[in-house]
């Protein structure tokens, strides 16, 4: 498993210039119609992400490749704008600077992953059915993660820097020789906290019902993928 590097001090930057480098950016997707506080935090988050990526480029090397989950091909970049995902502006800017979008999703594997997730988002009555669906979902997650890691390994060349936009909690095993730089600007923590608080408030207003048991049992990753499938 690749080593995840923490915040980098300036005197140590030179030792990371050699080898393959991957800048991991947590992909934050929020439902439409958020309140002004969350909208402001989302805007601030992506602004700080852009600043940190530029800082990493200045310290290490220019980003040559762009990886983005849920995009089956280079021609689908405009989907980011239609889905109101804040990474769109950064991706556009990097492409203008010469970076290349590299598709890492297999279309069929991705669709299977999203379809099983949609099945799990239903209000299922049977725990047995839920378990079977969840097993199928986990199988698709493993297959997808293996493909994502393989594509990154195949396309990221020696001493190159790349950026990956992907949700946290993915469990992808990156190639062991790739240095991972986690991009976590200050606004990330504030945004995640605001989203959690909003979710807790929403749950408090939901009526108690045994019909909710199966959906409440869904794992965090399942809930996250559901947003992208909607």
For the chain, the structural domain boundaries read: 4-106+155-204
Which stretch of DSSP H or E encloses residue 200?
Answer: helix 186-204
Residue written as token pair 């001493």:
159
Nearest to 130 by CA among 218, 47, 210, 200: 218
Taking the C-alpha atoms of residue 226 and residue 88, their distance in angstroms, rounded to an integer, is: 20
Q: What is the pTM of this model?
A: 0.80
Using 50, 70 and 90 to split pLDDT, how confident is the model at 199?
confident
Mean pLDDT in residue range 82-107: 91
pLDDT at 108: 94
25 versus 2: which is more confidently predicted? 25
> pLDDT tens digits for 16-38?
888 999 999 999 877 656 678 88
Q: 63 has which bridge partners? A: 161
The answer, yes or no, to whether residue 224 has pLDDT greater than 50, is: no
The answer to whether residues 26 and 183 touch, using CB atoms and an 8 Å cutoff, is yes
Residue 213 tokens, joined: 């048991």
Question: Cα 20 from chain centroid?
Answer: 20
206 versus 79: which is more confidently predicted? 79
Report which DSSP code applies to 3.
P
Helices and strands of the chain, counted as H and E runs: 8, 6
């Amino acid at each position: 498993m690749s080593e995840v590097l923490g915040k980098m001090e300036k005197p140590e930057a030179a030792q990371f210039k050699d080898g393959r480098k991957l800048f991991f950016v947590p992909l934050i997707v929020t439902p439409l119609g958020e309140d002004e506080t969350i909208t402001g935090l989302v805007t601030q988050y992506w602004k700080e992400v852009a600043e940190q990526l530029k800082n990493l480029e200045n310290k290490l090397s220019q980003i040559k490749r762009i990886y983005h989950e849920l995009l089956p091909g280079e021609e689908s970049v405009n989907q980011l704008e239609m889905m109101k995902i804040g990474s769109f502006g950064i991706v556009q800017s990097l492409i203008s600077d010469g970076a290349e979008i590299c598709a890492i999703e297999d279309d069929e594997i991705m669709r299977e992953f999203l379809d099983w997730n949609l099945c799990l988002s239903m209000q299922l009555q049977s725990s047995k059915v839920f378990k079977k669906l969840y097993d199928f979902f986990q199988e698709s997650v493993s297959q997808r993660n293996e493909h994502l890691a393989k594509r990154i390994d195949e396309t990221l060349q020696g001493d190159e820097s790349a950026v990956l936009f992907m949700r946290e909690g993915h469990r992808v095993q990156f190639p062991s020789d790739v240095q991972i730089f986690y991009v976590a600007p200050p606004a990330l923590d504030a945004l995640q906290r605001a989203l959690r608080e909003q979710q807790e408030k929403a749950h408090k207003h939901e009526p108690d019902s045994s019909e909710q048991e199966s959906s409440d049992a869904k794992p965090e990753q399942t809930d996250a993928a559901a947003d992208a499938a909607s």
